[in-house]
Structure 1
Amino acid sequence: MTFLMRLATAEDLTFARELTCQNMLRYYIQHDLLWQDDAFDLAWSGRDNWLISRGDTAVGFFSLSRDLRALYIRELQIAKAFQGQGAGSWAIDQVIDIAKTEKRPAVRLTVFENNPARNLYERKGLRVQGEDACFLRMQLDISTALG
């Protein structure tokens, strides 16, 4: 069965917040950062949010923002039960397609330096452009994107 995406609604906020907290809290703790539900909710309200599903089951989401330089993946979260089944890779492909359609020059994201998702991002062509504290800044130039 393939994955589907739809624009997220206000009703999806709780799912997205809880999923992000479940997936990311260990990194926040390791790097002595404070998780704040209110900060997540505020960021959610200002982003382009997409729910990823398989059939009738929500398996994750991604959040995007934009400027003239790039399309930014602000969140990409997949539920643990569905990790390793291609949902993250599929989602990145969707984001690359959006960037191409919008004629954005690049896709960018920030990832915790010790998050194994970095491997997925590198397989998809994103390259480390810099570091900030415990984060890596990664980018894919759309002109070099495959497909």
Structure 2
Amino acid sequence: MEDVHLRPATAADDEFLYDLHRRTLGDVIEATWGPWDDDVQREFHRKWFAPDTVEIVFVGGRPAGMVQAAMTDATTFYISRIEIAPEVQGGGVGTALLRGLLDRARASGANAVELHVLQLNRARHLYERLGFQVADVEPPKLRMRLAL
């Protein structure tokens, strides 16, 4: 696996992140809610994107993903979003990234890590392989939790 590292996002990452979202989750979004609506998705992106809360994932020196994660209270680390470009999926990048986030959570004093995943998202299998368990079904999402 190539070198994986993170850097804080900037406003200049806006279009990269929108395109990444479409490429990584477009099929899941369409299977869940119907055809991709660019106007709706751009509005969602506009409301969501806050550069100071996002990190860009680099693989082999190239941007290849994003993560948004932080402590939500004194004991829980929450992964809001994680997206890995399709062309690098399956090569261990997601596993390495998640293990790094689990280390960050432990170092922050968390006793659990939580995330939400769309029920149709293949990433659910990665989360389960790393020990996350379904804590609640919130259609069309699952809330998953890993005790540290």
- State yes or no: 1:10 paired with 2:11: yes
| TM-score computed with the length of structure 2 as normaliser | 0.86
2:50 counterpart residue number: 45
Q: CA deviation at 1:9?
A: 1.6
Query: What are the residue-to-residue correspondences of 1:62-141 with 2, within 5 Å?
Result: 62-68=67-73, 69-141=75-147
| TM-score computed with the length of structure 1 as normaliser | 0.87
Compute the RMSD of aligned alpha carbons: 1.8
% identical equivalent positions: 26
CA distance in 2, matches of 1:107, 1:17: 26
Instruction: For residue 31 of structure 1, give the secondary structure of its aligned residue in structure 2.
Output: helix
Higher RCO, 1 or 2 (CA under 8 Å, sep at least 6)? 2
1:79-118 Cα deviation digits (max 9, x unpaired): 1110101111111011111111111221111111121111
Structure 1 spans left out of the alignment, 5+ residues: 143-147
- State yes or no: 1:19 paired with 2:25: no
Q: CA deviation at 1:38?
A: 2.3
Paired AA for residue 54 in structure 2: N
1:60 paired residue among 40, 45, 65: 65
Equivalences, count: 142
